[in-house]
């Protein structure tokens, strides 16, 4: 091996393809749409088919925002990408783009599992519904709201350095 020759970095697949591959693998592994909390996975996918990502379970927490803010979640940055998996209720959006009331109390509510993948080149998500598991909805990064903001901060903001303990 010649150390003077620069190594060619391996380009990652499109983030939507990574999200779809991760969701497909998790769909095979998880047979539920009711997880006790959000889960964080590290994803290695460089030089692999997008249908065969390597997943490493890193953490779980009942609150997805606390999971993303946890200092230990920074371990995900050691991987090519990270994936957040959460379950809950979804309800149809009204004409103004909002849900009338809590999705869990809506007459047309559906159980949903959401997988969000994030890497240096973007964010994408995949939804799958419990009542129609073949109905998969992908979003190539246009999602907005508090979860989208939290995931963007989690991956793209610089890590917070805590002061060293004086004990």
Kindly report, residue by residue over 38-60, the tens digit of the pLDDT. 999 999 988 887 788 999 999 99
What pLDDT does residue 159 have? 66
**pLDDT for 160 beyond 70:** no
| 86-114 average pLDDT score | 87
What pLDDT does residue 106 have? 86
- The C-alpha atoms of residue 143 and residue 161 are separated, in whole angstroms, by 29
**pLDDT for 93 beyond 50:** yes
What pLDDT does residue 45 have? 86
- The C-alpha atoms of residue 81 and residue 77 are separated, in whole angstroms, by 7
Can you spell out the DSSP letters for 92-105? Answer: ---TTSS-SS-GGG
Measuring CA to CA, which residue among 71, 77, 73, 69 is closest to residue 58? 73
- pTM (2 d.p.): 0.84
| Residues shown for the chain | 167
Q: Where are the domains of the chain?
A: 15-156
For residue 159, the tally of other CB atoms under 10 A from its CB is: 8
33 class by beta-carbon count within 10 Å (0-12 exposed, 13-18 middle, 19+ buried): middle
- Per the CB < 8 A criterion, the answer to whether 77 and 83 are in contact is no
- Element holding 113 (H helix, E strand): strand 110-119
**pLDDT for 7 beyond 80:** no
Q: Kindly report, residue by residue over 13-32, the tens digit of the pLDDT.
A: 899 999 999 999 999 998 89
Q: Where are the alpha helices (DSSP H) in 53-162?
A: 64-69, 146-156
Both tokens of 105, joined, read 């109390």
**pLDDT for 9 beyond 60:** no
What pLDDT does residue 120 have? 92
Lowest mean pLDDT among 33-37, 78-82, 85-89, 161-165: 161-165
**pLDDT for 101 beyond 70:** yes
Measuring CA to CA, which residue among 11, 12, 23 is closest to residue 116? 23
């Amino acid at each position: 091996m010649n150390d003077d020759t620069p190594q060619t970095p391996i380009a990652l697949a499109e983030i939507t393809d990574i999200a779809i591959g991760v969701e497909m693998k998790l769909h095979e592994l998880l047979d539920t749409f009711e997880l006790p909390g959000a889960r964080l996975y590290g994803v290695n996918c460089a030089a692999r088919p997008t249908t065969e990502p390597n997943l490493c379970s890193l953490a779980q927490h009942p609150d997805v925002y606390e999971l993303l803010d946890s200092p230990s979640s920074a371990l995900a940055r050691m991987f090519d990408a990270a994936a957040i998996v959460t379950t809950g209720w979804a309800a149809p959006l009204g004409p103004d783009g909002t849900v009338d009331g809590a999705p869990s109390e809506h007459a047309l509510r559906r159980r949903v599992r959401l997988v969000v993948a994030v890497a240096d080149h973007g964010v994408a998500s995949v939804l799958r519904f419990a009542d129609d598991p073949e109905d998969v909805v992908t979003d190539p990064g246009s999602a907005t709201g508090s979860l989208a903001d939290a995931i963007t901060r989690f991956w793209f903001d610089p890590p917070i350095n805590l002061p060293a303990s004086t004990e």
